[in-house]
Amino acid sequence: MIIRKKKNWFGMLFVWRGSVLPQLLPRLSALFAFTAVVVYFKSDLDRVHGELSTNIYTIFGIALAIFLGFRNTVSYDRFWEGRKLWGALLNDTRSLAQQVHNFIPNDEQHRPEKVVFMKQMAAMAYALNHQLRHTDAMPELHKLLGQELAGRLEQAEYKPVLIMRELGARINSWRIRGSIDTILQAAMDRNLANFSDIIGGCERIAGTPIPFSYDVLLHRTIYIYCFLLPLGFANALGWFAPFIITFVAYTFTALEAIADELEDPFGTMPNDLALDAMSANIERSIAEVEDLPMANTEPVNSFYIT
């Protein structure tokens, strides 16, 4: 995710890093060249197809803008829901950490168990992060869980769910031994149920992309529209046409590119959620509750966090 202080209005016109312009530059350059060719041969082209009415482009452009607005709204809703789910994960881990810290005795028998429990909660966040991004969670899990439990999780597909099962087993053992009563166990189990809802919500977003046929239709429509613009405006704009049409195309294609990035909020594109930073934040929050050392102490880049 891009974390950057906004410049003044003039500086924002020339921002390069964090913009989608670098990935659009080749296709916009192709459109600029195509428009220049159309302007150069406009007299010959007029004899072939005549002068096209600009009213067609106006009606078509309004419809296209409405579809693009809907596409961006859907993508941002997915992005924001993903952010709310990870915010809820932070809140629920804090709540459960406070319950364990406040109500489980800090004697020689329970202190090691509390430390293991806190590390397992942090490991669950890292495991969910890597599951959503289809990356390897084992380095963090070995640091937090130890070799035995991490080894059992190595071949598991749903690692955060299995870690959550370990948390539930630990809470149940405390209740059996009388460290907590059934009322407190039920309160802790509610937080575990919230963890399950959060994991399921993230899996739903990650596993249900926007229908491909809709993406194809919108993509084709945008590029066909942009490459037809020179045929209708070459006469009216002359040699200004390559610049103006390329700018109009940038608006449409940039909106589509931004929507593509936001559609999967758990990816590693510059504008996706900073899951690594949020996982580390959860670990820090838990560590401060129980005064534990952190496994992840890498500094966060001030411009881009992953």
**What integer pLDDT is reported at residue 296 of this predicted model?**
61
Alpha helices in 238-274 (DSSP H): 241-263
Q: Residue 304 phi/psi, 5° resolution?
A: -135, 120
304: helix, strand or coil: strand
Q: What domains are there in the chain, each with its CATH number? A: 90-208 (1.20.1440)
The pLDDT of residue 303 is 45
**Three-state DSSP class for 260?**
helix
Is residue 226 within 8 Å of 31, Cβ to Cβ? Answer: yes
- Looking at residue 15, what DSSP letter applies? -
φ/ψ of residue 137, rounded to 5: -90, -10
Are the beta carbons of 143 and 295 closer than 8 angstroms? yes
In order of 72, 138, 276, 305, the CA distances from 263 in angstroms are 9, 27, 19, 19
CB atoms within 10 A of CB 289: 20
The b/e string for 160-188 (b: 16+ C-beta within 10 A; e otherwise) is: bbebbebbbebbeebbeeebbeeebbeeb
Residues 6+ apart with CB under 8 A from 151: none
Distance between CA atoms of 226 and 255, rounded to whole angstroms? 14
Helix axis angle for 21-40 and 241-263, nearest 10°, is: 150
The DSSP letter of residue 108 is T
Q: Give residue 265's pLDDT.
A: 93
User: Which residue type sits at 186?
Assistant: A
3-state secondary structure of 205: helix
Q: Tell me, what's the pLDDT at 289?
A: 87
DSSP SS3 for 2? strand
Contact (Cβ atoms closer than 8 angstroms) between residue 271 and residue 303: no
132, 134, 138, 143 alpha-carbon torsion, rounded to 10° = -40
- The rounded distance, in Å, linking the Cα atoms of 39 and 241 is 8
In the chain (306 residues long), the average pLDDT of successive 10-residue segments reads 67 76 92 92 70 75 87 93 96 94 89 93 95 93 89 92 95 93 94 95 93 89 91 86 93 91 89 91 90 62 51
Q: Three-state SS for 146?
A: helix
Res 102: pLDDT: 92
CB atoms within 10 A of CB 222: 18
Quickly list H helices, 41-53: 42-49
Encode pLDDT of 9-68 as tens digits. Answer: 677 777 777 788 888 999 999 999 999 998 888 877 766 665 666 777 888 888 888 888
